[in-house]
Structures are given as structure tokens and as C-alpha cells.
Amino acid sequence: MTVRELTAAEVAAHADELLRIQVAAFRIEAEILGHDRIPYLYETVEDITAPGLRWIADVVEHADPSTVRTGDTGSIDTIAEVRGAVVLAQRQAGLFVTRVIVDPAHHRKGVASGLLGHAQELRQRLFVITSEDNPPGIGMYCKAGFARVRDVETDTGSILTEYAWEPAAD
């Protein structure tokens, strides 16, 4: 397994798989929250391949070089499987963690923690917003060193909480 940032070509080549994992992950969160008003459940391939998104993925590389395929761009695609991803977007205040997705087949194996750890190695402020009704997500962020910043009430009356992580000063 390798955790690394995917190129735009890799995101495009694996967009269907990334979208499948994203929908599966957010279906579980929807069950936890008791509603399906999660925008990521309804995204399309075009949404997830939008410019400005940085995909850091936990991938299994091809073990057998004969199974490596060449994509439309002529680049070599060495990804056999994507186990999960953290998606980042640059904001003025740092990097916004737009989503952390893990294939349900790989839950509780440290995939999300490894992805967040890799994002933290970028040494930029990270922030994320999650529902107060998402104990697994809150626990994951707190375990990774994120601190609660503020609560925000949505139009529907639910409460979202912002968490932030700051790199240690050198």
C-alpha cells in the first residue's frame, strides 16, 4: 500500500472508482446522521475531477508489471486498487479537508488515519467541517490532533463543527 497524491490524470482514470468509494462512505455517514442531505452523495464524475481538488489516496500498486495499463494520456497506470482518499482544497486559511473517504471493505484498518497523517505532512494548516452528530468523524479528527474551532448552524437547523490542525512550529 502507498499513500500519495494522485495526478489529475490518475483521478480522471479512476474517477468511477473514487466516486463509488465516496458514495459508499457517505451512505454510512448518512445512516449515522439519520438523513441523506450530504452533498457528496450526489456528486458526479465531473464534480470529483474538478480543478483545484487535491486527491491523496491510499492505493495498492500493481504487483505484476504485466497488468500495468497505459491510459489515454500515454502515462503508465500503476494503481490496482484505491482503498481510500482525503481530498483537499486550497483556501486562504490553509487546506480545507473536503472529504475523507474509505472503501467500506477497508474500514477500521487505519486507512483514514494514514491519509490524514499524509495530509499533515504537507505542513499547512488543515481545517474540516463535520456534523456534531458524527462521532466516528469527530473521534478521527480529534485523534489526529484537530481542535474544535467553532459551531455553525445550517439552514436545516443541524449543527456543523469546524476543526483545525496546525503544524508544529519548527
44's grid cell:
458526479
pTM (2 decimals)? 0.87
Decide the pairing of beta strands 79-91 and 53-61.
Answer: antiparallel
- Alpha-helical (H) ranges within the chain are 8-13, 15-33, 45-48, 111-120, 135-143
The predicted-structure confidence for 83-120, as pLDDT tens digits, reads as follows 999 999 999 989 999 999 999 999 999 999 999 999 99
How far apart, in Å, do the first and last CA atoms of the chain sit?
Answer: 30
| pLDDT score recorded for residue 73 | 53
pLDDT bracket for residue 80 (50, 70, 90): confident
For residue range 141-155, what is the model confidence (pLDDT) as tens digits?
999 999 999 999 988
Question: What are the angstrom distances between the C-alpha of 13 and each of 61, 82, 103, 119?
Answer: 14, 12, 18, 22
Taking 90 as the threshold, does the pLDDT of residue 122 lie above it? yes
Let me know if 17 is exposed, middle or buried by CB neighbors in 10 A (0-12, 13-18, 19+).
middle
Backbone φ and ψ of 8, nearest 5°? -60, -40
In tens, the pLDDT along 18-44 reads: 999 999 999 999 999 898 989 999 999
Cβ atoms of 96 and 88 closer than 8 Å: yes
